[in-house]
Each structure stands twice: as structure tokens, then as C-alpha cells.
Amino acid sequence: MALRLVLMSVAVFFLSLAGAARADMAVFSSQGGVAIGGYDAVAFFEHGAAEQGRRSHAVMWKGVVWRFASAGNQARFESNPRAYAPAFGGYCAYAMSQGQVHSGDPRIWAIVDGELFLLNNRRVHQLWQADKVQMIADGHSHWPAVLRR
């Protein structure tokens, strides 16, 4: 009986570790294995602009390549990637608020409360801006389960 209890405890422990690993695993939109169209995720925050990254300044994180305009931006990202990576895996924040998945366009973006959001097109960006607080909340309610549909 004691052996059975120990074995069950060990099994529960390993199953909970696998669940924790899955919960931490982010899924990022990518084209050809490159996140956010090759744009520099740090530049949105540091320069307030969408800047194309360079192949010479790249890092692999969460299964995709992230490119940066400079070595400094690459170093900033490497020190805290979650601070710079776009919300909802770089998918369109408006679509996510509707429970849908569409690619985000890194040229159409917003930073709200320290989070980077990508949108799909200018019309969607206007709709999203009109009620972004609610749409962000709605998007979080769908993310990341929407990817499993």
C-alpha cells in the first residue's frame, strides 16, 4: 500500500511538471521561422518605430528566430524576452479579441500598458483602438486556447 502511494505521488509530480512546461510554452506567429516578419521587437519600445532586424543580430527563442537592428537591442531582448515579445504570439490583437487567429502586421502596432500588440490592417487597428481595453481582456480570455481549435 505504501509503495502504491509513493508511485502515485511520483506519477502526479511528473505529470504536473509536464503541464507546467506546456503552460510556459509560448507560440509565436512566424513566417519562415522568423518572428514578427523579421522586425526588431525592442525597437517598438526603445525607438517607437517598426524597424527591420538584421540577420547578423538574431537569436532563437521559443522556437522562432528574432532579429534585431543592433547588437544592443539583441542584448536587451536576450536579458528579458518576455518584456519585448508581442502579446498573443504576434497574432492580430483584434482577431484574438474575437476568438480568431489572423497574422499580425508589425507595421501596424500599439503599446498598451507595456505590452506590444500587432494588428492585421488599418481598419482593424481603428476598431481595436476604439475599445482596446475590452478587446485586450477579450483577447486574453481566448489566448492561447484559440490556437488549438
Cell 503599446 locates to 111
Q: Tell me: the pLDDT tens digits for 103-149?
A: 999 999 999 999 999 999 999 999 999 999 999 999 999 999 999 88
CA angle 89, 30, 148 (to 5 degrees): 55
What pTM, to 2 d.p., does this model score? 0.82
Q: What is the pLDDT of residue 12?
A: 37
Q: Would you say residue 18 has pLDDT above 60? A: no
d(CA 73, CA 58): 10
CB 92 within 8 Å of CB 124: yes
